[in-house]
Amino acid sequence: MTDHPLGAVVQGSLSQGLEVRLHSDVSVEQMRVGKFLVVQGVRSRFFCLLTDVSLGTANPRILANPPSFQDTFMRDVLAGSATYGNVELAPMLMFTPKEEEDHNPSQPEDTSLGSFQAQTNADIELLPVKTIPTHFSQVYEASERDFRAVFGWEDDPTRRNFAIGKPLDMDVPICIDLDRFVERSNGVFGKSGTGKSFLTRLLISGIIRKQAAVNLMFDMHSEYGWEAMKEGKEVSTVKGLRQLFPGQVEIYTLDPESTKRRGVSDAQELYLSYDQIDIEDIRLVGHELGISEASLDNANILEAEYGKSWIMQLLNMTNEDIKLFCQEKQGHAGSIMSLQRKLMRLDNLKYLRTACPHNYINQVLESLDAGKHVVIEFGSQSNMLSYMLATNMITRRIHGSYVKKAERFLQTKSPGDRPRQLVITIEEAHRFLDSKIVHQTIFGTIAREMRKYFVTLLIVDQRPSGIDNEVMSQVGTRITCLLNDEKDIDAIFTGVSGGQNLRSVLAKLDSKQQALILGHAVPMPVVIRTRAYDQQFYAEIGETDWSQLPDEDVFAAAETARAELGF
């Protein structure tokens, strides 16, 4: 905290926030929404977020006859007394120094700024705000030490901290606690083009680097596995997770031809079969296929008769077979014929087979159990029907396996039986978590159960208003880029106390490389410039396993090293 005060608290309340009048030598143009400020009270220090900036005058007559813009002398005379700047602060955390055991009541207590700075990080216990500072308490710009006290630092040996960015006006890292991050479902939100995919890669890279959890990523647009296009006028690419962590990340593909065309040589094929599709999977994609509830009711009759092979039996039926079946089983012929026509669209999905001699989902599970992080690419199969069906089928079986493991661990209490924490990343999350179907999808179940079965979600979405309110209230940490739609902004603050104070902060974000973080993994909401996903980040976060890299990459790295050494 700097020694020079910016202003003084003039009024406010716990629910509405604090109003601060800036000192005459402080320009209102220095204040930006999202700035981190500290209020020095008599006994406590308050960590606050700047939520609004305004101008004020002591006498309305000044506005009726304002001084000329060229009259700098008059403007200087009026500044600070007759005209002034105001800022609105939302108190987020407070810190009260511990009283010494040998405290002498007869001696006046030292509450100066120096006494606060004398505290060590071990002494700092940050608490939710239960009160507010007194009138005329001084407001200071936060220092690097304040940020470290609140957000920690990346090399803290006691916690898995990961630096995700920096404050808007300081060069100090903002860290999230990855252990707290992975124990609940989380979300990355923002309108198209604001950098959600880059943010998601940052987060997953941190989880891999710090070994906080194992990841399963459904890569709808093939952006996470090997490499991705970088936005901008020049055509360039950024490294995917497989290039950063060649020994820890495996790529599975539902479209091997597309994956090979993009130069990924070691991806493993992944196929699904018709007998793995349940009615819950069909219900999820019912809107995409145009299947009615009546048809789904008749699907239950088919499943009761034919078991797991009900879809193949249905597709092979003639109209006469269907009519005969309905006479015997009291089904509705029109609904079953309609269901048959709609399910024929599944033949267009390259990854679906009549039967699979090899259980590919078990192979993915074995990779996760071994601590490998799995990226499932869709290639040309990235349409919404294909994405939703495969993602739901795979997730439902993996979640079922984790439920059994968690129940075994609950019985034995043995550390060796504890399942690895699993984070499942899905894009277009509102398609799975819409209020109409959320109670019928595995993703709604995972979001509600949270950490009970060691499986959580990382949902990436540009329309958070499409996600069920109950699910949004369970999202632990929300990392939000720019949003313009009022409904989407309202959804972000579902279940967040004091959310109204943060609305203006979210609305004023830049369209690139800025985000508001709030929730379980950070002590208080904070606006950041997101960490750059560039060569420096690769060097700081990744591993180099030369045996896993193509020869051309090894030779290129060797030439670069020779050039740097001057050979």
The answer on 228 and 82 residing in a single domain is no
439 and 397 both lie in a single domain: yes
Residues 50 and 83 in one domain: yes
Span 277-286, pLDDT tens digits: 888 888 888 8
For residue 47, what is the enclosing H or E element?
A: strand 45-57
Phi, psi angle pair for 423, to nearest 5°: -115, 120
Residue 247 forms part of a structural domain:
yes
Which residues, in sequence order, are CB contacts of 80 under 8 Å at separation 6+? 23, 24, 25
Residues 384 and 337 in one domain: no
Span 389-414, average pLDDT: 89
Q: Which residue has the tokens 């398609």?
A: 431
> What's the confidence (pLDDT) of residue 499?
67
Mean pLDDT for the stretch of residues 68-94: 76
Res 187: pLDDT:
92
DSSP H or E stretch at residue 486: helix 486-492
What letter represents residue 285's amino acid?
V
Compute the average pLDDT of residues 287-310: 87
pLDDT class for 556, splitting at 50, 70, 90? Answer: very low
d(CA 377, CA 393): 15
Res 128: pLDDT:
85
- Residues 280, 329: one domain? yes
* Contact by Cβ (8 Å): 166, 173: yes
Q: Which of 343-352, 434-443, 557-566 has the lowest mean pLDDT?
A: 557-566
C-alpha distances (whole Å) from 549 to each of 226, 239, 243, 546 are: 12, 13, 8, 5
Instruction: Give the CA distances from residue 425 to residues 201, 207, 443, in Å, rounded to whole numbers and listed in that order.
Output: 10, 12, 11
The DSSP code for 231 is P
145 and 64 inside one domain: yes
Do 207 and 146 share a structural domain?
no
The DSSP 8-state label assigned to residue 8 in this structure reads E
> CB–CB of 396/277 below 8 Å?
no
The mean per-residue pLDDT over the stretch 187-207 comes to: 89
The answer, yes or no, to whether residue 412 has pLDDT greater than 80, is yes
Which of 477, 475, 468, 474 has the alpha carbon at shortest distance from 528?
477
- Looking at the structure, do residues 96 and 227 belong to the same domain, yes or no? no
The CATH number covering residue 246 comes to 3.40.50.300
| Rounded Cα distance, 319 and 49, in Å | 67
For residues 257 and 399, membership in a common domain is answered with yes
Distance in angstroms (rounded) separating the CA atoms of residues 113 and 358: 68
Helical ranges in 330-383 per DSSP H: 333-343, 360-369
**Residue 438: which domain range?**
181-271+358-479+532-548
To the nearest whole number, what is the mean pLDDT of the chain?
82
CA pair distance 126, 123, nearest whole angstrom: 10
Q: What is the pLDDT of residues 419-461, one digit of tens each?
A: 889 999 998 888 888 888 787 778 888 888 766 888 999 999 9
Query: Does residue 539 sit within a domain?
Result: yes
- On whether both 188 and 229 belong to a single domain, the answer is yes
- Same structural domain, 32 and 127: yes
- Domain endpoint, select from 326, 348, 370: 348
pLDDT exceeds cutoff 80 at 117:
no
Residue 208, CB-side half-sphere exposure with 13 Å CA sphere: 29
Report the length, in residues, of the chain: 567
Residue 156 in domain:
no
Count of domains forming the chain? 3
Of 282, 275, 284, the closest CA to residue 310 belongs to 275
| Among candidate residues 348, 381, 402, the one where a domain is terminated | 348
Distance CA 431, CA 304 (A): 28
Classify residue 157: in a domain, yes or no: no
Asked if residue 310 has pLDDT above 80, the reply is yes
Q: What is the largest CA-CA distance in the chain?
A: 100
In sequence order, the 6+-apart residues with CB closer than 8 A to the CB of 484 are 191
Sheet strands (E) in 199-322: 214-219, 227-230, 236-239, 249-253, 268-269, 272-273
Q: In this structure, is residue 51 part of a structural domain?
A: yes
The more confidently predicted of residues 75 and 493 is 493
Domain end marker among 316, 348, 380 = 348
CA distance 506 to 524: 15
Residue 414 lies in a domain: yes
> CA neighbours within 13 Å on the CB side: how many for 135?
2
Residues 214-231, mean pLDDT to the nearest whole number:
84
Higher pLDDT, 528 or 544: 528
Q: Which residues share a beta bridge with 139?
A: 7, 39
Q: Residues 331, 365: one domain? A: no
Predicted pLDDT at 64: 66
Predicted pLDDT of residue 74: 65
68, 73, 74, 78 alpha-carbon torsion, rounded to 10°: 130
Q: Which residues pair with 37 in a beta bridge?
A: 48, 141
